[in-house]
Structures are given as C-alpha cells and as structure tokens.
Amino acid sequence: MSQDINHVSKIYPNVARRVGRRRIAAHMRAPTWLVLTSLALPLSLLGACGSREEAPAPKRADWVLQSKVQFFEADAKTPRATPKEDLRLWVPYVVGDLYGAPNAGELAPVTLKPDMSFSLDLNKSHEKLALALVPTEFSQKWMKIEPASARIARLSPFVLPVDGIVPVGTCEWLDVDTHDKLMLVYLDRPARIRGEIVYEGRSLRFDIASEEAGYIWIRQPEGSGEYRMAPWPGRVILAVMPNP
C-alpha cells in the first residue's frame, strides 16, 4: 500500500513549533505506541498479501518419463549398434499440427547420459508450452479438431551428434510392452481429433477423444489402420531408425 503509516509523527513537530515544548503524560505513552504498533502490523500484512503470486500448478508424477535411447533397423525391431560418437538429445515441439518441422523449439533441455538413458520432466515445459501454442491448422486437410479453438502440440525428439545438427536417425516412441509406435501429444482442453483417408493403398483413420487437457499418447498403426488414444505406457523407449 502507498499510505504512509508514519504520517502521525510528522504532525507533532508542527504542533510543537506553534505552542512550544509539551510533555506527554506517562499514562498516555503506552496507549499511543500500542495504537501505532497495532496499525503498522495489519498494513504490513496487507502489503504481503498484495504481492503474493499465484501458486504454480501441482507437479504431475506421470509427466516424468524415465526412458532410454535405443537403435534399431528400419523395422523398429531389429537392434543395431549404437554410434560411437558422443550424442545429445534435442526435444522440440510441433505446435498447431501433428506433422511437420518443429516450430516451438526446445522448451526444457534434456540431458542424455552416457548409458543413453534420460529423464524427461514434462512439468518443466508446461507453462512455456501454453505460451507457445498457436491455432490448430492441420497440414493434412482431411483431419479436423473439435472444438476448432482447441490447440495442440506434438513432442518431436531428435538424437544428434554433440557438435552437429544432422539427426543420426528417425526417432519414434516405442511402448516396451506392446511394441506399438506412439506419439506424445498435448491438448490445451478437452477435444476430439477426427479424419479418414485412403491414399496409395493405405486406409488411415483418426478418432481420438480426450476428456481433459494435458498430454496423451496416440498409437500409430503399421500400414493401414486407426490412430487411437493409448493408455499411459508403463515403459517407453526412444527408438532411432536409420534416416530414409
């Protein structure tokens, strides 16, 4: 508050100049200081309350992923040797679409350990991601989102040489238990993604409904099939296949 709680003390000197020196009776001293002290305390508490910031959203334990980078052949099943060069992990977002080049950058750096394991805490990037979201405009015109105002983002990780910018392969999330390929997608509100197309002999269909805002996993079909919402996996790895 801007009020000067000491304004009372500034009045007495003016009175003293007009009527000469006065003494305050002993029985009046204690109550005077009590009033000033009791006045200062509530005002200080009000000042503290006015400057208090909103508490951050509670951290979600299921948004902390313990994972590992593993290298596979193009079938995403046959293991291949890990490159001998030092590697790093880059974890940017595609916002406003599920496909395309990252357009939101890396919002919270992730450290890749020497054994290729890493911890991905999605809580750290949540507030920044909310600011980076843009209106949804699918590059695949046969896809749509309801409501149209819903905004989305896809986490799109890359494995790169420590001193390079060319990815060492194509990355996909794999469910360790089901071997399904997964997408990790963020929705800013309850929404439904729909679409269907037949292209080059492949029949693809989206029908994904989320009843709340937050991250969801989407199962990707092999060849033809349906993209559908998957249960939160117990274990996921970041699989790296050779570049096309």
229 shares its domain with 120: yes
38 shares its domain with 141: no
Q: Which of 52-61, 72-81, 153-162, 221-230 has the lowest mean pLDDT?
A: 52-61
22 shares its domain with 87: no
Give the pLDDT score at 56: 60
67 shares its domain with 43: no
- What percentage of the chain exceeds 70 in pLDDT? 77
- Minimal CA–CA distance to 175: which of 167, 184, 166? 184
- Minimal CA–CA distance to 173: which of 205, 208, 215, 220? 220
Say if 114 falls within a structural domain. yes
Number of domains in the chain: 2
117 shares its domain with 140: yes
Say if 159 falls within a structural domain. yes
Say if 56 falls within a structural domain. no
pTM: 0.75
Beta bridge partners of 201: none
Q: What is the pLDDT of residues 94-148, one digit of tens each?
A: 999 999 999 999 999 999 999 999 999 999 999 899 999 999 999 999 999 999 9
Say if 44 falls within a structural domain. yes
Say if 13 falls within a structural domain. yes
14 shares its domain with 110: no
43 shares its domain with 142: no
19 shares its domain with 108: no
Say if 1 falls within a structural domain. no
Residue 153: pLDDT band with limits 50, 70, 90: very high
* Structure letter (DSSP) for residue 223: S
Residues 6 or more apart whose Cβ sits within 8 Å of residue 228: 207, 208, 218, 219
State which residues form the domain around 196: 61-241
Q: Are 170 and 238 in contact (CB under 8 A)?
A: no
Judged on CB neighbours under 10 Å (0-12, 13-18, 19+), 229 is middle
Residues 6 or more apart whose Cβ sits within 8 Å of residue 17: none
Say if 134 falls within a structural domain. yes
Whether residue 220 has pLDDT greater than 70: yes
26 shares its domain with 92: no
